[in-house]
Amino acid sequence: MNPPAETANLAKRDESVDWTALRNEFPILRETVNGHPLVYLDNAASSQKPQQVIDTVRRYYEHDNANVHRGIHELSNRATEAYEGARQRVADYLNAGSPEEIIFTRGTTEGLNLVANTWALDNLRKGDTILLTEMEHHSNLVPWQILANRIGAKLDFIEVTDDDGQLDLQWLDEQLARARLLSLTHISNTMGTVNPVAEICTHARAAGVVTVVDAAQSAGHTTVDVQAIGCDFLAFSGHKTCGPTGIGVLYGRRELLEAMPPYQGGGEMILKVEYRDSTFNVAPQKFEAGTPNVAGAVGLHAALDYLDAIGREAIFEHDQRLAKRACERLAEIDGIRLFGPSEDRSGVVSFVLPDAHALDLATMADQKGVALRAGHHCNQPLLAKLGVAATARASFYFYNTEAEVDRFIEVLHDVRKLLV
Ligand code: 7TS
């Protein structure tokens, strides 16, 4: 809980940002969809990109493009400098100890698979327990299932409370005492729950349990400081943080990265290769086989600059304000079921109406230009636990406006009239 003084500061920051001017920097938000102005409320799936990021990627291809770490020529040097500059920028963004702790990946999914296939495969044994939570996205569940089946490890889950979608932490220390690794999401992509990851990682560290944080829903929306959280690994995706698709980040604590085996074999990750054996490069290159996504890293650099220029506290405050307005207006609908906490939540709002299927709702909202998501949101076990097959989801970002929340509610009412 924020102390009142801090809340007041956040509110001030939120008001001091010209959100309309920022919105105008996103060309795609001027699109019309099915004859209506686009109202893009699917930001938990992927964010839109500001002109600055689009221009940076374009400039890179027009002026600097070449392979990295290889050529002894000007363009290769420029590309290498841009790529390694992006690594330093990510390290600063996450407050990592050094850029050597930053591995570029394709996204959150690849980051989590990397940990499962390197640190975990190398360190976990038959009978060991991997602790997860009941609210994990499939990408923080399936890799652990595959690994557990392969080595004979067990999965355990921190439960989610039925009423408000929080983690039930009353058994945390007992569960940690039986576990070797804990992997959990910072923010739930279905319920908008913000998990107390720093507190949980403190308990895990005391129990000698290695921690992995899935920051897919938080890295672009709020402050994510790996030292303050105290995690061993943390993954996020560029495309959810105003950056390009196909680029992501895995932070890993240096001592762990140095001791870990490589992920994939190929160029860049070696020091010396013979026919029957090779010596591997140091971290992070050891984990980046092949030509990396240089343009993606360069675009991500621009995206992180963009987000920090606004301020992540202000972004989160704005997300929360819109989500609160949406929840209040939705709660007026008779029989609606809203998921997740009622307070201190993120900008992700999931709901089920008594009289309209979520998929029909989203399809008809799209006819009016409103982009929602409907389905299981890659949270099938969680939805089964909640007793629903699908929810409709609106997820907000800093370029969304209060007028868009109102338009979303208006469209919802129109659609319901047609469906019931
Ligand atoms: N973890 C969480 C919490 C997520 O929300 C997502 C994507 C991922 C991992 C995977 O990220 P990726 O970039 O590697 O695909 N979440 C969603 C969503 O909620 N709707 O579409 C994608």
Ligand 1 pocket check for 350: Cβ under 6 Å: no
Least confident piece of the model among 142-146, 355-359, 365-369: 355-359
Rounded average pLDDT over 229-243: 98
End-to-end CA, the chain = 41
Q: Which of 217, 242, 339 to mutate to test the pocket of ligand 1 (most atoms within 8 A of CB)?
A: 217
Query: Within the chain, which residue ranges are assigned CATH 3.90.1150.10?
Result: 8-48+311-419
**According to the model, what pLDDT value does residue 69 have?**
87
Evaluate if residue 71 carries a pLDDT over 50. Answer: yes
Ligand 1 pocket check for 139: Cβ under 6 Å: yes
Sequence-separated (6 or more) residues with CB below 8 Å from residue 210: 119, 123, 180, 181, 182, 204, 232, 233, 256
Look-up of token digits 């600059």: 305
**According to the model, what pLDDT value does residue 375 have?**
95
Query: Within the chain, which residue ranges are assigned CATH 3.40.640.10?
Result: 54-308
Q: How far is CA 141 from CA 27, 66, 398, in A?
A: 36, 37, 29
Ligand 1 pocket check for 44: Cβ under 6 Å: yes
**According to the model, what pLDDT value does residue 13 have?**
56
Tell how far the Cα of 114 is from the centroid of ligand 1, in angstroms: 16
Look-up of token digits 């007992």: 174
For a pLDDT cut of 90, what percent of the chain falls above it? Answer: 92
Tell how far the Cα of 48 is from the centroid of ligand 1, in angstroms: 15
Ligand 1 pocket check for 45: Cβ under 6 Å: yes
pLDDT digits (tens, 9 = 90+) for 177-191: 999 999 999 999 999
**According to the model, what pLDDT value does residue 14 have?**
63
Rounded average pLDDT over 337-359: 94
pLDDT digits (tens, 9 = 90+) for 255-267: 999 999 999 999 9
| Contact call for residues 120 and 179 (beta carbons, < 8 A) | no
Whole-number mean pLDDT of the chain?
A: 95
**According to the model, what pLDDT value does residue 6 have?**
40
Query: What is the rounded CA–CA span in Å between residue 110 and residue 239?
Result: 13
| Contact call for residues 338 and 244 (beta carbons, < 8 A) | no
For the domain covering 8-48+311-419, report its CATH number.
3.90.1150.10
Confidence of residue 10 (pLDDT cuts 50, 70, 90): very low
Q: Which of 378, 379, 395 to mutate to test the pocket of ligand 1 (most atoms within 8 A of CB)?
A: 378
Evaluate if residue 213 carries a pLDDT over 80. Answer: yes
Check if 378 is active-site: yes
Least confident piece of the model among 5-19, 224-238, 317-331: 5-19
For every residue of 297-347, DSSP letters joined together read HHHHHHHHHHHHHH-HHHHHHHHHHHHHHHHHHHHTSTT-EE-S-SSSB-S
pLDDT digits (tens, 9 = 90+) for 274-303: 999 999 999 999 999 999 999 999 999 999
Rounded average pLDDT over 77-100: 98
Q: How far is CA 391 from CA 333, 366, 410, in A?
A: 15, 16, 19
Ligand 1 pocket check for 286: Cβ under 6 Å: no
Ligand 1 pocket check for 179: Cβ under 6 Å: no
Atom of ligand 1 nearest to the CA of 190: 19
**Is the pTM above the cut of 0.85?**
yes
Sequence-separated (6 or more) residues with CB below 8 Å from residue 252: 101, 103, 115, 119, 232, 233, 260, 283
For the domain covering 54-308, report its CATH number.
3.40.640.10
